[in-house]
Amino acid sequence: MDSQDLQVLGALGRWQAEGCRGALVTVARTWGSAPRPAGAWMALGADGRVQGSVSGGCVEDDLMARMRAGEFAGTAPVLLRYGVSREDAARFGLPCGGTLELLLEPAPDPTLLAELAARIAAGQLVRREVELTSGEVRLGAACRGDLLAWDGRCLATVHGPLWRLLIIGAGQIARYLAPMAQALDYAASVCDPREEYAREWDVPGVPLLAGMPDDVVVEMGPDPHTAIVALTHDPKLDDMALLEALKSPAFYVGALGSRVNNQARRERLLQYFDLSAGEVARLHGPTGLPIGSRTPPEIAVSILAEMTAVKNGVALEQPRGRVPASAGCGVG
């Protein structure tokens, strides 16, 4: 499943190949409440076609009308603002006090767009810079943690898989979880030393990493932009991954299983492994939000929903389990 960036780039590439003019619109800055964050993209075709979004819809309608009217017939980037006044906010359906600053590129270079799409598809992180006055566009390497930058003259955006997801277990849930994660700008990979599962793994763009789970986690070098989810139901595999994952700075560590099984897992991790109570308390188990999920795709949705909440700093009220009080803060 393509990321939002690849969908926008793909649309622009198709339109340009058909001889249809297409503009690229980027949310450069927002004030107050805004329906889309800075960095959001939209492709706008001269014939009215649209891919992506920069607002809840009303701004897109205005941009399409102005595009059809030939207002964006030039080649130089254009800076636009919506919602500066109360009347404009009401007209364009923006939340109270919301303001959008957009950078519109009427004629983006198809060669650079194709290069950017290829680099994103290859799993690279790319920094794209657009000079407002000259229209010059530059592509360069980016790092996880790089942020959008806009000083009124140059807009720098970051594209590609900003996050990583390691899935332990190449079962059916992983077949839904990995592609869904790709759409959310995760570079997803799977570890499963079980030959019967590994031989059948064929999800595009999601490599199968050889080795035992604990070794794979260590070799991966989890950082604060990494999530690790154990899905095998086999303690010999899941616990090995969790042993290393819970000691890492990964922002999310989860394990499949019932509350009873995950409580037993916590007790086991404390008793037999070199983990503190604080480290074990980081475990999201059962992994995923409690939405009554039963099927593999529903479970995948619940896992990604919880990962997204944690990534965005949203407090989760649902208790995820407890660490035995008798464990204290020592190791087992």
Residue 295: Cβ-neighbour burial (10 angstroms; 0-12, 13-18, 19+):
exposed
Q: What is the pLDDT of residue 97?
A: 55
Residue 95 has pLDDT above 80, yes or no: no
> Please, what are the domains in the chain?
4-159 (no CATH), 163-316 (3.40.50.720)
Residue 317 has pLDDT above 70, yes or no: no
CA dist., res. 145 & res. 228, Å (int): 18
Q: CB–CB of 23/108 below 8 Å?
A: yes
Strands 154-159 and 137-141: unpaired
Q: What is the pLDDT of residue 88?
A: 64
Q: CB–CB of 46/19 below 8 Å?
A: no
Which residues lie below 8 Å from residue 225, measured CB to CB, with a gap of 6+? 144, 145, 162, 163, 164, 251
Section 147-163 average pLDDT: 94
Residue 166: Cβ-neighbour burial (10 angstroms; 0-12, 13-18, 19+):
buried
Radius of gyration of the chain (CA): 23
Most distant CA pair in the chain: distance in Å? 72
How high is the mean pLDDT of the chain? Answer: 89
Q: Give me 26's structure tokens.
A: 């980027």
**58 band by pLDDT with thresholds 50, 70 and 90:** confident
Q: CB–CB of 110/117 below 8 Å?
A: no
**55 band by pLDDT with thresholds 50, 70 and 90:** confident
Residue 278 main-chain phi, psi, to 5 deg: -65, -40
CA dist., res. 329 & res. 270, Å (int): 9
Where would I find the beta strands (DSSP E) of the chain? 22-31, 41-45, 50-52, 78-82, 99-105, 126-131, 137-141, 149-150, 154-159, 163-168, 186-191, 208-209, 226-230, 252-255
Mind listing the pLDDT tens digit for each residue in 83-92?
756 666 566 6
Q: Higher pLDDT residue, 144 or 119?
A: 119
Question: For the ranges 12-21, 232-241, 310-319, which has the lowest average pLDDT?
Answer: 310-319
**107 band by pLDDT with thresholds 50, 70 and 90:** very high
Section 184-192 average pLDDT: 95
Mind listing the pLDDT tens digit for each residue in 195-240?
999 999 999 999 999 899 999 999 999 999 999 999 999 999 999 9
Cα 176 → chain centroid: 15
Residue 94 has pLDDT above 80, yes or no: no
Q: What is the pLDDT of residue 304?
A: 98
Q: Higher pLDDT residue, 48 or 84?
A: 48
**15 band by pLDDT with thresholds 50, 70 and 90:** very high
**319 band by pLDDT with thresholds 50, 70 and 90:** very low
Q: CB–CB of 275/246 below 8 Å?
A: yes
C-alpha angle 116-72-90 in degrees, rounded to nearest 5: 100
Q: What is the pLDDT of residue 191?
A: 98
